Amino acid sequence: MNKALYLCVALVVLSAWSYQDGHKKSFVDVAGIDSLTKPGNNFFRFVNGRWYDTAKIASDQAGVGSYSFMNIPQKKLLQNILDSVSKTKNNMGSVEQKVGDFYASGMDMTTINQRGYQPIKPILERIDAIKDVPSLIKFVAAELKTGNSSVISFGIYPDNKNSSINIAHVSQTGIGLPERDYYFKTDSSTLQIQQAYKKYISTLFQLTGSDVAIATKDADITYSIEKQNAASHKTNIELRDVNANYHKIAVASINKTQANISWGTLLADLGATTDSIDMAQPAYYDKLNEQLKSISINDWKIYLKASSLQNYAETLSKPFVDASFDFNKVLSGQATQKSRRQIMTENVDHYLGQALGQLYVKRYFNEDAKKRVLVLVNNLQKSFENRINHLDWMSDSTKQKAKEKLYAITKKIGYPDKWRNYDKVQINRTKYFENILSLNQNNYNFELAKLNKPVDKTEWGTTPSTVTAYYNPSFNEVVFPAGILQFPYFDFSADDAINYGGIGMVIGHEMTHAFDDQGAQFDKDGNVKNWWTKEDYQKFREKTKQLVDLYSSFTILDTVHIKGGLTLGENTADNGGIAIAYDAFKMTQQGKDSVKIDGYTPDQRFFLSIARIWRVKTRDAFLRTYVNTNPHSPAMWRVNGPLMNFAPFYKAFNVQPGDKNYKPENQRVKIW
């Protein structure tokens, strides 16, 4: 690609045109390109460099740009709704009343501050009343039902090996830092986080009346118990092994082997009638069973107080909110707190998401978008089938099973066909803390009612307004909420190059999750069941190992590398998603021709759109935590990683040997 074209692109970046009333309409014009960067050296930087260098991260945010950070402006739309319904007299029990009054209760900081930590005192008093292990477990069970989890993580969702039925699951928990390794690493940034965390716990104790010396001692006791818990945890990479994290066990059996936990009594207190559970990480519960006797009841009470205070800190008065922020800003680098409106908008979306979602869809969602995106989904399905047919490493018998799974995928677009109701929730406009407990209790009962019942595959796992998309292997479904069906991912008036490079890539990404290192272990009905020949699966594993090695070589900060094992599923989906979306685009009329718009070929604009959807800039502290805990690669490598493996990109931008991201054809990783 010549320098003149670099300069041209610098002046007019992503442009796409539609014709309305006979007139040409430009709907995107973002001057974000770095014309001094060759596409083959760093395509993310080429498309986004000038934007990246000038973009300002708000002091109350950890980043700016697309994807999850699009939820920042998205929340402003929700704030408009909440400001309106919270100031209107609504019919008691209506969606508007529940949403509006809950929002208002959390906005009333005068009352919240006046109450101080009074709302949590009954919980602390119940902890003080614990006398022995049985009463400790009874407390843990009672609190679980109102959202105050500590040493037991309990949930109801499909059985991995019989996805038509919901069963009880328990998994490792009991720590306050992001994941186990934060308790054991000794680099300077991790040590800083450890100290900030201990200070946070100490501050919470001081806010409830302890003097500094006792609070510091109690924080050390809490941290010590958490570190023991963490030692029994699997790493985030180990958690990706589906079969190794499934252990369906008879309750009668663990009643004997983990007698101190007393599972029969615990489950009865939880209201969960079942003779078996899936214990995802038994080592954690074996360790907990030992700790219940080896750690004194007094120390356990200190731990439970610290855990409860952390769980509720952000729902209490300002000093508690400030303490929580002071710790979390060490993880995120965020300089100042979000406004109360922002915080409460997020909370309403979290606790009453489908109620708020109904109001969002009515006000902001274009129904025609749903039909247009369904066309794209169907086209990508055909594209994926064609790619499966032409795989040179997979046998015909496995190809047939893969295509059966592909066409069994359920497609959910925009919002649910049936909305969840919150009829049993009582919202009091003046009692924010009690509203939180009520909503948690309602959600617990909602989930508990599913135990040992058939799975309702019409349910959604996200709110309609959220800028996200996902694949659920147990449901074998792809979900694209209304929130993501907007620019830069989708614009109804955009041409195919823009939309296939945007939402098309996201669709392809989610479809590929059905065939990543985890999804490939589920069959078309959502069960963990082998559908591969032994030889094909071995070849698949060898190819995924190539992706692990490639992404592990990418440096992010200083000497910090992407964790190729942790990000394998998302990297597989990114690489497959681009290829599938491109092939689907080439099926369209525009994809078949070479007509330029603003000097760009259709293929060039397809790739420009891909780089645009991952336009993100974050704080270094946030990025460091992200790399340690998030299964997605950082934005730059969601662009550069897949494109260095994709031949049509090389052709579109004349990538040549000597370019930094050039890879010889025999070194390019191709799975799907």
What's the confidence (pLDDT) of residue 21? 37
Q: Which of 263-277, 366-380, 392-406 has the lowest mean pLDDT?
A: 366-380
3-state DSSP of 602-637: HHHHHHHHHHHHCCEEECHHHHHHHHHHCCCCCHHH
What's the confidence (pLDDT) of residue 206? 98
Give the residue-averaged pLDDT of 462-480: 96
Let me know if 120 is exposed, middle or buried by CB neighbors in 10 A (0-12, 13-18, 19+). Answer: buried
Q: What is the DSSP letter of 339?
A: P
Confidence of residue 73 (pLDDT cuts 50, 70, 90): confident
Give the residue-averaged pLDDT of 442-454: 98
CA distance 658 to 38: 11
Cα torsion 305, 306, 311, 314: sign: positive
Q: Between these two residues, 34 and 438, which has the higher pLDDT value?
A: 438
CB atoms within 10 A of CB 508: 31
Q: Please name each of the domains of the chain with its CATH number.
A: 132-296 (1.10.1380.10)
CA distance 89 to 237: 51
Confidence of residue 82 (pLDDT cuts 50, 70, 90): very high
pLDDT tens, 212-229? 999 999 999 999 999 999
Confidence of residue 18 (pLDDT cuts 50, 70, 90): very low
What's the confidence (pLDDT) of residue 25? 39
Instruction: Indicate if the pLDDT at residue 50 is higher than 60.
Output: yes
What's the confidence (pLDDT) of residue 19? 36
Task: Tell me the pTM.
Answer: 0.92
Q: How much is the mean pLDDT over the chain?
A: 93
Q: Which residues pair with 169 in a beta bridge?
A: 155, 278
| AA letter at 516 | D
Confidence of residue 31 (pLDDT cuts 50, 70, 90): low
CA angle 224, 225, 231 (to 5 degrees): 90
For helices 43-54 and 3-11, what crossing angle results, to 10°? 40
Q: Which residue from 298, 294, 285 is spatially nearest to 152, judged by alpha carbons?
A: 285
58 Cβ neighbours under 8 A, 6+ residues apart: 64, 72
Strands 153-159 and 162-171: antiparallel
Q: Between these two residues, 267 and 596, which has the higher pLDDT value?
A: 267
What's the confidence (pLDDT) of residue 72? 85
